[in-house]
Amino acid sequence: MGLRKLRRKLHQQRIAAQKRFRRQKNANRLAAPGVHSFILVLDNLKPAFNVGKIFRSADAFGAREIHLVGIDFFDPAPSMGSFKWVPARFHENFASVHHALRLRGYTLFSLEPRNDRPLHAHRLPPRSAFIFGHEEYGLSFDRQDYPDIQPLCIPQFGQVESLNVSNAATVVMWEFLRQHHLPSPSGAAP
């Protein structure tokens, strides 16, 4: 395939993704909060694949809502329809989401691979908000400006520097539910 055809194909795919996004964003306005109290904050993630995948996992684990910082568009196709079900809150900058969540009594945690506070060893309060930074550049803000944010890491034992952000979000959601006595989907005791 020639370069010109490839560019045209990519442009058409982006237009189709934008149409899906607008349609599902309208439906998202009716989304009810998830059954659990935790919140995810996606800080300037790339719009291609991970955002949609995180919505899919957030739907599966009953996240209260997802806050998107600096993300005004993403391809909802990888969410398999979950973008319509998990409430999305859009913010231009991190200060906005930080202020909103602190007012609601949330404890904020950042996931940082080069940290020595393992996720599973920290007791997560019911009102936990987990911040995931850009896949390549990390957090968009200076950590020193937000001393109340507690850094955590997911222990890793191989050579890779960090997990894929959608996988990391899934691990964090599972750990939150594990700590809060993971209910069965039917509501019966496990």
| Tens place of pLDDT per residue across the chain (190 aa) | 687 887 887 778 778 877 878 877 877 888 899 999 999 999 999 877 799 999 999 999 999 999 999 998 888 878 888 899 999 999 999 999 999 999 999 999 999 887 889 999 999 999 999 999 998 899 999 999 999 999 999 998 888 877 899 999 999 999 999 999 776 666 544 4
pTM, 2 dp: 0.88
Cβ-Cβ contacts under 8 Å for 28 (sequence gap 6 or more): 83, 84, 86, 87, 88
Closest C-alpha to 137, from 44, 42, 40 = 44
User: What top-level class would CATH report for the domain 3-179?
Assistant: alpha beta
Q: Where do the structural domains in the chain lie, given as residue ranges? A: 3-179
